[in-house]
Structure 1
């Protein structure tokens, strides 16, 4: 049984469009256990949930935006593959613009995003990837939230697919699910590649 873990982005949930599409796709595959977690907004609390989830290490982790950052943190710790979609690179620099109170749509809890949480994110960030070939990176140049060029630079040596246009939600995501599943479920190493 192969285990796939899905991590949503900031102010999102396991009920997001991408999470639901991903779960539906993997549910149709044999011998796959898929889990989409609902993560707290504070980094330390999110990491506690994740550390419990990886007691049984996943085959691969899929993460979107901030979930892509957390997927990278976990993949570096346990040595599994990861597919990241419009991932946040150095999210402490971006989320510092979004301090304030939020309500989680599934957990139905309120969270206060504070400056100290940016320090927690910065401390989590891997300075470099140990084995970039373990990553599939899906980027759209029209991302209005994150600068895709930061991800191109950070994930050097990974399999990077850069799509012209689109937005932060990653337009047409569902069409990429067969490729994502193939990457996540096949025990193969992939070389450096950037496609447009």
Structure 2
């Protein structure tokens, strides 16, 4: 099972999610791919992910569980990977979610639609409660961090995920608009046997 978790105010229609889903289908892994729309509530988002994993992951008989997450989705993926002891790909992940998302309390719209997105003060508390420490086994992670990220500090990401697979991209941006260039490395981590625990 490959579970992708999008970022704050984003959706399964994000460029990275669409590219990854297409690439995995082309490689015969479409049945393993799951990319849900996450609710604004972090607690509800994690509960949804737990339910999907319990429903679709068969304990590894048909392959390992791999989580993927971008920005806030990277934070969620890390929380779940530490709980489930599985691998995770994190793309410009939020490291200190309660601190960084506290400034986003209020009403927004989603990036890929005009639907409202309301982020409440209690959602910041939920992020704080679900926090985990640095990865217990960094080798289970693949970090893609861009020095040109205009939202988050790539140095915090590099320090938090020290010892992981992946790379620091010189330049780029928070959305990793050049993701297609780096996607083959991500897919190798997800699909090739030497990375599988």
TM norm. shorter chain > 0.5: yes
Task: Map 1:1-196; keep pairs closer than 5 Å.
Answer: 3-32=1-30, 33-55=32-54, 56-57=56-57, 59-104=65-110, 110-189=116-195
Over 3 Å off, 4+ runs = 102-111
Query: How far, CA to CA, are the matches of 2:195 and 2:79 in structure 1?
Result: 19
Aligned length: 188
How far residue 186 of structure 1 moved from its aligned partner, in angstroms, is: 2.6
Task: Please give the TM-score of this superposition, normalised by the length of structure 2.
Answer: 0.88
Query: How far, CA to CA, are the matches of 2:65 and 2:182 in structure 1?
Result: 19
Cα deviations across residues 25-44 of structure 1 (Å, max 9, x unaligned)? 11101245211111001111
Query: How far, CA to CA, are the matches of 1:51 and 1:109 in structure 2?
Result: 25
Asked if the contact 2:75/2:95 (under 8 Å) is kept, the reply is: yes
Query: How far, CA to CA, are the matches of 2:13 and 2:165 in structure 1?
Result: 27
Query: How far, CA to CA, are the matches of 2:137 and 2:193 in structure 1?
Result: 14
How far residue 110 of structure 1 moved from its aligned partner, in angstroms, is: 4.0
Which structure 1 residue ranges, 5 or more long, are not aligned? Answer: 191-196
Which structure 2 residue ranges, 5 or more long, are not aligned? Answer: 58-63
Asked if the contact 1:152/1:160 (under 8 Å) is kept, the reply is: no
SS in 2 for 1:50: helix
Higher strand share: 1
